[in-house]
Amino acid sequence: MIEQAKQILSTFAKQIPPTVFGPERVRYIIENIDRMTQEEKIHVLNLANYILTVMLERNASDVEIGGFGAQNFIWFRIYGKKERIKELPQFTIDEASTLIVSLLNKNQSQYLLQNRNLDFSYTYKLDKISRYVRFRADAYFDLDSLSLNMRAIQAAVRPIESLDFHPYAIKTMSHNFIKFGLSLITGITGSGKSSTLDAIIDFHNQFDPCHIVIIAAPVEYVHTSKVSIIKHREVGRDVLSFKEGVIQSLRQDPDIIVIGEMRDPDTILAALEVTDTGHKVFSTLHTSSAVESIDRIIAEVNPAEQERVRNRLADVLISVVSQKLVPSLDGKRVLAKEVLIVTPSVKAAIKNNNTSEIYMMINQGGQQGMVTMEQDLLRLFMEKRISKENAIAYSNNKTRILQLMKGA
């Protein structure tokens, strides 16, 4: 099956005229992919599914296919480290581009040509477990050729209890305890934000008879409605943009709105507005600390709007979780997090533009469910789950972590 599919890709790639250069080679592939027979397309899809199956068997989180940087190899990220997989077939740049295009429909292919990037989701049935598995994918150009990253979406949601939150922190995120307000999950790419967000959704789904609307690009884990009714809206597929999804959700009778990412000023303002109307909102940001998250939201908007946004954010923000996945001593990764609960003092610090004071409030707020990244890294080190070197390397404040370790 592998050799046959590889031969199909090779034959197709050789048909690209030598006079077609640069990104026009990708256009040629997209415009001529339908020359493949249905049987040939199935063989190519089976090859893609085989690569993904190997990825899951190796416990890899990501796969990289195609582009100049791949140097014809398939690459996996296994427990945080990228490595080329020499046992899998090697693909020329044109063969890899053809394999990537075969995963897309016509609309997605045209969007990719026009925007040079495409976020999408991919699903296939894994026969060994008789279950569908899902992947978040990003297709993009690398020196005029197509490249693809696919990330495995966990088949099961982690229970929120396994994330080691303080009981009061969980309470503040609960719709039953606080009916409205904004809770943020932040961290760099690959820090497990989506998994934490899914754990929070699943937590509500076990006991809260509410309506949850998820707006994401793309939708990753698909929740089955239990006690809650859960709707999934994928940007570019079910709704045109995050902002549109947020505004439209107000007419859909939601209790909880989950915004996959607050990635631009329009989405940030829309999120603050729907929170103001009395809804519980969860969202993510690409920041590495709670204080940075607050500063980033305010800095994203027009300077003329910043004072208003600062006051509004202070009124609606309930909690911020900033997290990292740290290499553990058993060769895997473990979650380290900073948790901010917005108390009256924190609210005043935001309104008065004194966000630099918030770190010490988190540091002293243990009884209210707060913890700094440095305190949590120290806990993991004391529990012998991470090394001293990684505790220091992954801290936001090196001076503080060294002080804590001296006093431990």
Domain's final residue, options 106, 124, 152: 152
Q: What distance in Å separates the CA atoms of residue 139 and residue 96, rounded to the nearest whole number?
A: 12
Domain's final residue, options 111, 136, 152: 152
Closest C-alpha to 12, from 41, 42, 55, 51: 41
* Residue 347, Cβ density class (10 Å: 0-12 exposed, 13-18 middle, ≥19 buried): middle
Do 94 and 241 share a domain, yes or no? Answer: no
- HEC-encoded secondary structure of 367-380: HHCCECHHHHHHHH
pLDDT given for residue 408 in this prediction:
65
Do 25 and 138 share a domain, yes or no? Answer: yes
pLDDT given for residue 171 in this prediction:
93
Q: What distance in Å separates the CA atoms of residue 253 and residue 212, rounded to the nearest whole number?
A: 9
Do 148 and 174 share a domain, yes or no? Answer: no
132 forms beta bridges with 125
Q: What distance in Å separates the CA atoms of residue 94 and residue 96, rounded to the nearest whole number?
A: 5
Q: What is the dihedral of CA 50, 56, 62, 63, to 10 degrees?
A: -20
Domain holding 73, by residue range, is 2-152
Q: What distance in Å separates the CA atoms of residue 272 and residue 294, rounded to the nearest whole number?
A: 13
CATH code: domain of residue 337? 3.40.50.300
Do 23 and 139 share a domain, yes or no? Answer: yes
The answer to whether residues 235 and 241 touch, using CB atoms and an 8 Å cutoff, is: yes
Do 281 and 323 share a domain, yes or no? Answer: yes
Do 121 and 211 share a domain, yes or no? Answer: no
Do 139 and 283 share a domain, yes or no? Answer: no
Tens-of-pLDDT digits for all 408 residues of the chain?
789 999 999 999 999 999 998 889 999 999 999 999 999 999 999 999 999 999 999 999 999 999 999 999 999 999 888 999 999 999 999 999 999 999 998 889 999 999 999 988 899 998 888 888 999 999 999 999 999 999 998 878 889 999 999 999 999 999 999 999 999 999 988 898 999 999 999 999 999 999 999 999 888 889 999 999 999 998 878 988 889 999 999 999 999 999 998 988 989 999 999 998 889 999 999 999 999 999 999 999 999 999 999 999 999 999 999 999 999 999 889 999 999 999 999 999 999 999 999 999 999 999 999 999 999 999 999 999 999 999 999 999 999 999 999 876
Number of folded domains that form the chain: 2
Q: Which two tokens stand for residue 282?
A: 């969860």
Q: Where are the alpha helices (DSSP H) in 321-372?
A: 344-351, 358-363
Q: Which two tokens stand for residue 180?
A: 């409205």
Q: What distance in Å separates the CA atoms of residue 187 and residue 58, rounded to the nearest whole number?
A: 25
Segment 330-383, tens digit of pLDDT: 988 999 999 999 999 999 999 999 999 999 999 999 999 999 999 999 999 999
Do 141 and 257 share a domain, yes or no? Answer: no
Do 193 and 127 share a domain, yes or no? Answer: no
Q: What is the dihedral of CA 205, 211, 217, 223, to 10 degrees?
A: 30
pLDDT given for residue 80 in this prediction:
84
Do 124 and 180 share a domain, yes or no? Answer: no
CATH code: domain of residue 79? 3.30.450.90
* Total residue length of the chain: 408
pLDDT given for residue 229 in this prediction:
97
Do 328 and 267 share a domain, yes or no? Answer: yes
Q: What distance in Å separates the CA atoms of residue 281 and residue 237, rounded to the nearest whole number?
A: 22
pLDDT given for residue 206 in this prediction:
96
Do 243 and 180 share a domain, yes or no? Answer: yes
Domain's final residue, options 152, 180, 195: 152
Three-state DSSP class for residue 133 = strand
